[in-house]
Amino acid sequence: MESYLSNPRPEKNSGRLFSDLQRKVDTIYQMLLRVYGAQGITRRADRLKVTDLMKSTDFYERVKALEILVYGEQEMSSTSDPEALPQTIRELEESASELLARKAVEERLEKKVRQKIEERYEEYVSEIRRQVLKENAEPENAATLKKLGYLEKLEYTQLSTSAIEKVRPLNFEEIVGQKRAVRALLSKLCAPFPQHILLYGPPGVGKTTCARLALEYAKKVEGSVFSAGAPFIEVNGATLRWDPREGTNPLLGSVHDPIYQGAKKDLAEDGIPEPKPGLVTEAHGGILFIDEIGDMDPFLHNKLLKVLEDKRVYFDSSYYDPHDQRIPQYVKKMFDHGVPADFILIGATTRRREELSPALRSRCAEVYFEPLTADDIRGIVESSAARLGLTLEAGVSQLISEYTNEGRKANSILADAYAIAIFDNPSRHIRVTRKHILEVIRSSRITSYAHIKASPEPKVGKIFGLGVVGYLGTLVELEAVSFPAQRKGEGYIRFNDTSGPMARDSVFNAVSVFRQVTGEDISAYDIHINVVGGGNIDGPSIGAAVFLVMMSAVRNIPLRQDVAVTGELSIQGRIRPVGGLSEKLYAARQAGMARILCPVDNYEELPAGSARDIEIVTIDRIEDAFRHVLAVT
């Protein structure tokens, strides 16, 4: 055995054991041939550099080549040992069998794969064809192109700018009658720590225009917190509504679920909800202006307060799964961390301060815009006429000021008259006359807002009180007549039932003070006190005026008709403070009053410079009022 194995070139029939080993080696080579193929085994032998060993007549070299082919780069360690050679060949045989078995399995799997491909070939081809057609499909057809052409045609059809747009103020210098309001607004907005702001005032006085100009002004201030690209987002609060299902919320943002509310197709297919930011996020870093903020839904008010507090908007959805790996990063970030909403809120309203949410008011600075006077309206009309290239007949601006106290409405009347003037005389030079204004007033059925005017002629049983309607003051015209009681001691007092309980209480107080001051019992007289024009008087501020008109009627004392009176009358004859003094001053000026009487406790509330064109007299007791309202002083 040892001599046979040591023979380097053994003959074929040198020994039975050797023949068995040689056959096994040949079998292993055949197995490798089936695994790799003729070309494959040749390439593998070249790569492993065993081609010469394979062709060698030396048995040991052929076994070594076989070992390298089976195990790769491994060096044979036992082929030179005759005792270990059989074990080595058995191991090679097992490894080759494993390779052959694996090859057979792979061939069967590949055969099945080919069968499946052949079975589904047509389906695959059809699917690929549909996908290619979808990717290369043109979205346009004859109908869509026709609609596109229609839209492009609309772009080329434009009307000229309206007259109202042309006369709109372009800077703060062109805003009339609001110097204090503009100063207050800009000081709060241009500070290092700008505040949220609420703008109060009647319509047509410039609140919206001031808000539009405020941001551009603030951007130019050195050290301003607003960048050059800070946005100004404008919305009308009356159009904003809160949806309890959170399906739509243009102000704060909303979440479109993938089933009912139409999330994007690529999200809906995976069941992913789509958050959509609202106006508060669009206004991030700038100003969110809400006109008519007093008309917003109360629930939406409360949600807005939360955003003002957090300076972020958070989204929630039962469809959102934070562990879903298919969710895009931007959607995940919006759900997990919310989106920024750091802005300055400017809200404008024509409602009274008390009608707004106290929680909102506590977070905002408040700025009041003054009603426009007749002089302001005249200035607006004349400025607008100059910008429109018109000439005005004498008295046109005065006539317009008698029919409106809104700047927007004044410009509207002027624009309508301008149109009539062009229609009558389509020449280059347009002149608007009083006749044109009166035609607009009649065709639009506009009524004068200032029927009551001061008069230099004193009258018995007539006086003017002062009241407030909204942000505008109004004159309350009181008249009274007195007769001796038809039956002694059974006199009566009649008063408008529609004036309300507070006005009726003022009459009762005046009766008590009349007896206290004169020592007479009012039952000796039949007295009728009338509020001209009727209407409900929601407040006690006509008390002093009621007493004075009653005294004038009973004692036949003429009263000045260019004096207006406000103040609550206590049963002890004191003149107690009242509200709305700024609005009441406005009403007195509009009516041309020379003097007003007001409680002494209201003195500190008088606006600065309020006495520039009207005499203001403060009174503490009703007796102090007599000498200021009597026709002869």
* Residues that are catalytic: 541, 584
Give the whole-angstrom CA distance, residue 220 versus residue 333: 34
Beta strands in 259-402 (DSSP E): 274-277, 287-291, 312-313, 339-340, 344-349, 364-368, 390-392
Q: Of the candidates 193, 194, 240, 192, which has an alpha carbon nearest to the alpha carbon of residue 214? A: 194
Q: Of the candidates 236, 216, 240, 233, which has an alpha carbon nearest to the alpha carbon of residue 287? A: 233
Specify which residues 253 forms β-bridges with: 277
Which structure tokens are listed for 610? 């309020």
Specify which residues 197 forms β-bridges with: 346, 365
Helix (H, G, I), strand (E, B) or coil at 344: strand
Give the whole-angstrom CA distance, residue 256 versus residue 622: 67
Helix (H, G, I), strand (E, B) or coil at 263: coil
Which structure tokens are listed for 397? 């601006």
Give the whole-angstrom CA distance, residue 247 versus residue 245: 5
- Residue 484 has, within 13 A of its CA and on its CB side, a CA count of 2
User: How far lies 3's CA from each of 24, 86, 459, 485, in Å?
Assistant: 21, 16, 159, 165
Q: Of the candidates 450, 455, 452, which has an alpha carbon nearest to the alpha carbon of residue 562? A: 455
Instruction: Estimate to the nearest angstrom the gap between the alpha carbon of 551 and the chain centroid.
Output: 57
β 253-256/274-277 pair status: antiparallel
Give the whole-angstrom CA distance, residue 454 versus residue 463: 10
Give the whole-angstrom CA distance, residue 633 versus residue 626: 9
Give the whole-angstrom CA distance, residue 581 versus residue 574: 18
Burial label, 321 (beta-carbon count in 10 A; 0-12, 13-18, 19+): middle
Beta strands in 248-338 (DSSP E): 253-256, 274-277, 287-291, 312-313
Total count of residues recorded for the chain: 633
Specify which residues 575 forms β-bridges with: 569
